[in-house]
Amino acid sequence: MAKIVFITGANTGIGFEIVKALAASDQSYIVLVGGRSLEKARNAAATVQQDLPESSSDFVPIQVDIEHDDSIKQAFHEVQSKFGRIDVLINNAGAQFDRQIDQIGEREMWNRTWNVNVTGTQILTSTFAPLLLKSADPRLLFITSGTSTLDGTENQMVPVNRVPAKGWPKTGLNLPAYRSAKTGLNMLMREWHRWLKEDGAKVWAISPGFLATGLGGDTEVLRKMGALDPSMAGPFIRGVVEGQRDADVGKVINRDGVQPW
C-alpha cells in the first residue's frame, strides 16, 4: 500500500524538491502537493509527472493556505474524504518577512512571521493529527533553519551572525523575526514529539542547510554567499521519510547529524 505524504508549500522551493525526490524513489507514494494556490499546486504536480513519467507515485494537488483556518479545514475535509489517513506530514510552508519591514511595519512583519512559521504550522498539524494517527507508521516533519540554533549564533563565518559596526541605524544582514520563529518551531517540534510519543509517531525538525531558495531573497546573491542548490534538500528529506534517521527522532537534524540547540 502506497504511503500518503502531505507536503505544505510543495509547489516551489524545498517543498517542490521533496516532491521530486519522492517521485524518484523506488517506493510508491501518494504525494499530496499542498499549495496556497490550487493552480500552482496543479502545475507542480503536472510538472513532476511530465518530468518523471517512470515514477510509480501519484501526485494530488491540494489547496491549503496555513495563514487561514478555513483553508486548513477545507484541506482536511478533502484529504479525509479522499484518503482517510496520511502517513507523513511535512510542514514545509514558511515565509521570511524581515526585509519587508519598511513596507508593512515592524509589528506586522513580526506578527506575519510568527503566524506563518509557527502558529499556522501548529494549527495545521493539530487539524491533521487525527488522520496522521490512522497510519501504521506516522511521521511528522517540521522544516526549520540552520539559523535557528542558539549554539551556532557565535559563528561569525555565518553572514547572519556577523556583528555590525557601532552606531545607528545598523546595516547588514538581519533576520531576527525569521530566526526567532524558526527557533520557536524547534520547540513546537519537541512538544509534538512529547505529545505523540505514546502513539508511536516519529517527529523531527529538519534543517536542510544554507540553500539558494526564493525564501532567502536573490538566489544569485545567495549562491555567491555560499548557498547550495535547493535540490540537495530533496533526497535528504526523502531519507527521513524512508527511515534513514529513525535514531534521531525528537531532534533537529541536518545532513551531517544532529544540529546543536
Task: Write the pLDDT tens digit of every residue in 31-56.
Answer: 999 999 999 999 999 999 999 999 99
Secondary structure (H, E, C), 142-155: EECCHHHCCHHHHC
Q: What is the pLDDT of residues 130-175, one digit of tens each?
A: 999 999 999 999 999 988 999 999 988 888 889 999 999 998 889 9
Domain positions in the chain: 3-258
Active-site position among 182, 202, 207, 251: 182
Grid cell in block for residue 202:
516519529
Partner residues linked to 63 by β-bridges: 35
Distances (CA, A) of 42 to 6, 16, 49, 119: 14, 12, 11, 26
Residue 248 has pLDDT above 80, yes or no: yes
178 is catalytic: yes
Q: For the domain 3-258, what is the CATH code?
A: 3.40.50.720
pLDDT over 70 at 216, yes or no: no
Q: What is the mean pLDDT of residues 211-221?
A: 53
Does the annotation count 82 as an active-site position? no
Q: Of the residues 148, 178, 202, 207, which is catalytic?
A: 178
The answer to whether 231 is a known catalytic residue is no
Q: Residues 48, 53, 57, CA angle at the centre, nearest 5°?
A: 70
User: Which residue in 135, 145, 148, 207 is the catalytic one?
Assistant: 145
pLDDT at 233: 86
Q: Rounded to whole angstroms, how far apart are CA atoms 207 and 236?
A: 10
Give dist(CA 159, CA 171) in Å, integer: 12
- pTM, whole model, 2 decimals? 0.93
Tell me what pLDDT residue 127 has: 98
83-140 per-position pLDDT tens digit: 999 999 999 999 999 999 999 999 999 999 999 999 999 999 999 999 999 999 999 9
